[in-house]
Amino acid sequence: MTGIKVVGTGRFLPAKIFYNDDFDKKLDTSDEWISSRTGIKSRYFVTDETNWQMAAAAAKKAMEAANVNPEQIGAIICATFTPDYSTPAVACVVQRELGLRGDIPAFDINAACSGFVYGLKVAQSMMIEMKEEYVLLIGSEVVSRMMDFNDRSTCVLFGDGAGAVVLMKDSSKAFYSKLGAEGNPEALSCLGANFPNAYIKMDGTKVFKFAVDAGAKAINEILRQSGLSIDDIDYFVCHQANKRIIDFIGKIEKIPKEKLYLNLDRYANTVAATIPIALDELVENKQIKEGSKVMVLGFGSGLTWGGALLYF
Ligand code: UT7
């Protein structure tokens, strides 16, 4: 068995906080509409910060928390759909910035809001044949670059930020996960950064329904694989897109409210970064400790979805 254990977490948020009331009056939205329909109250937006700077800052904290040095890391994976460059990958810039070895793979993956969950499976698969014990997995996004600030149906939903984890091989455990994608490029999309009007476009209602179904489906699949029940899981960390999506998933799966982590009120949807940011907060607040079991669930553009069980 090649299981994985999370041995360090970190996060980085840009300096600028942007509240619901800060949107341009011409947008014709309100704090009341945004917070009641989504649960979002504020988010962070970059001013000068780049994707790789946020990713490196979060990764540095995760490595310090794990007490690992650069020599011990066997791969760097960054989940993002908003890299600074088309090439090189954010992961390669982080590699140089943190002085990581030059003989290990460093690359980005794009599975949108499911990117971090996809990254866990990629990392675990690579670890089976890797001689090193640790992989650095980052989720980092500058979503504000791809937002149309004249489109109230999307621009109020997102924020910028980065989270990172250090994963360690753990042969005493299995790795339970499920990934999926529906081959639907219309429901939620964003043209490449070099195209004119490269903004996020979304059929909110369709994505909402998909997200609830996907979250519930992933939970059932991982419980089936692992033989565990809801009671055995300490926390469920859903991708933070909308509080009502998470409430619905909790209701369908009969998950006690206190096990469903929520921080989207402060960060909004940071796409691939929502889950590692949440994990870092849970560790910092001592809500997750050595021995905790956490189920992470992602759903988003693609339409991709997935879930995994994490041991701490
Ligand atoms: O990571 C995955 C990414 N995205 C998501 O998961 C998002 C999934 N979808 C959602 O969260 C919700 O569908 C939204 C929050 C996007 C929309 O909520 P909703 O309750 O489904 O609202 P709606 O789209 O049905 O719109 C209702 C009304 C419309 O007005 P009319 O046609 O009823 O007059 C919209 O024009 O609300 C209007 N509206 C707004 N009003 C004020 C839409 N956005 C806004 C806004 N402020 N920001």
Which atom of ligand 1 lies at the shortest distance from residue 156's CA?
48
pLDDT value at position 7?
98
For the stretch 117-153, pLDDT in tens is: 999 999 999 999 999 999 999 999 999 999 999 999 9
Mean pLDDT, residues 144-166 taken together? 97
Question: How many Å apart are CA 261 and CA 163, to the nearest integer?
Answer: 16
Structure tokens at 168: 């360690």
Nearest CA to ligand 1 atom 38: 153
Q: CB within 6 Å of ligand 1 — which residues?
A: 29, 33-34, 37-38, 113, 152-153, 156, 188, 202, 204-205, 207-208, 211, 239, 241-242, 245, 269, 300
Quote the pTM value.
0.97
> Can you give the CATH number for the domain in which 30 is found?
3.40.47.10
Which atom from ligand 1 is nearest to the alpha carbon of 244?
A: 11
| Rounded distance from Cα 177 to ligand 1 centre (Å) | 31
| pLDDT tier for residue 193 given thresholds of 50, 70 and 90 | confident
The pLDDT, as a whole number, for residue 120 is 98
Q: Write the residue with the smallest CA distance to atom 26 of ligand 1.
A: 153
Residue 252 structural domain:
177-311
Q: Which pLDDT tens digit goes with each residue over 203-229?
A: 999 999 999 999 999 999 999 999 999
Assess whether 238 and 111 both reside in one domain.
no
* Number of domains making up the chain: 2
Please list the alpha-helical segments (H only) found in the chain: 31-38, 51-66, 90-97, 115-127, 152-155, 204-226, 243-253, 264-267, 274-284
Confidence of residue 194 (pLDDT cuts 50, 70, 90): confident
pLDDT at 237 over 80: yes
Instruction: Please determine, for residue 107, whether its predicted confidence score (pLDDT) is greater than 80.
Output: yes
Atom 21 of ligand 1: nearest residue by CA position: 205
Q: Which of 118, 143, 153, 297 to mutate to test the pocket of ligand 1 (most atoms within 8 A of CB)?
A: 153
Q: Would you say residue 188 has pLDDT above 80?
A: yes
In terms of Cβ atoms closer than 10 Å to its own Cβ (0-12, 13-18, 19+), residue 225 is middle
Shared-domain flag, residues 140 and 275: no
Question: 109 with 203, same domain?
Answer: no
Domain boundary among 170, 193, 220: 170
Q: What pLDDT is attached to residue 119? A: 98
Considering the domain architecture, whether residues 184 and 113 belong to the same structural domain is answered as: no
| Final residue in a domain of this structure, among 152, 170, 188 | 170
Tell me: do 199 and 158 sit in the same domain.
Answer: no
Residues with active-site annotation: 113, 239, 269
**Judgement on whether residues 35 and 139 belong to the same structural domain of the protein:** yes
- 142 and 220: one domain? no
Q: 117 and 186, same structural domain?
A: no
Same domain flag for 196 and 276: yes
Same domain, 159 and 277: no
Pick the last residue of a domain from 137, 170, 203.
Answer: 170
- pLDDT beyond 90 at 2: no
- Of 28-37, 122-131, 188-197, 210-219, least confident by mean pLDDT is 188-197
Confidence check: pLDDT of 52 > 90:
yes
**Ligand 1 closest atom vs CA 153:** 44
Q: Which helix (H) or strand (E) holds 177?
A: strand 177-184
Distance 153 CA to ligand 1 centre (A): 5
Residue 147 and residue 65 share a domain: yes
Which among 294, 274, 266, 306 has a CA at the least distance from the CA of 138?
A: 274
CA gap 178, 218 in Å, rounded: 6
To test ligand 1's pocket by mutation, which of 242, 245, 247, 267 has the most ligand atoms within 8 angstroms of CB? Answer: 242
What number is the average pLDDT over the span 153-168? Answer: 98
Bridge partners (DSSP) of residue 41 are none
Q: Which residues, including other chains, have CB under 8 Å from residue 23's CB and lie 6 or more apart?
A: 29, 149, 152, 155, 156
Cα distance between residue 33 and residue 144, in whole Å: 20
Atom 48 of ligand 1: nearest residue by CA position? 152
Pairing of strands 188-190, 177-184: unpaired
- 27 shares its domain with 141: yes
Asked if residue 140 lies in contact with residue 162, where contact means CB atoms within 8 angstroms, the answer is: yes
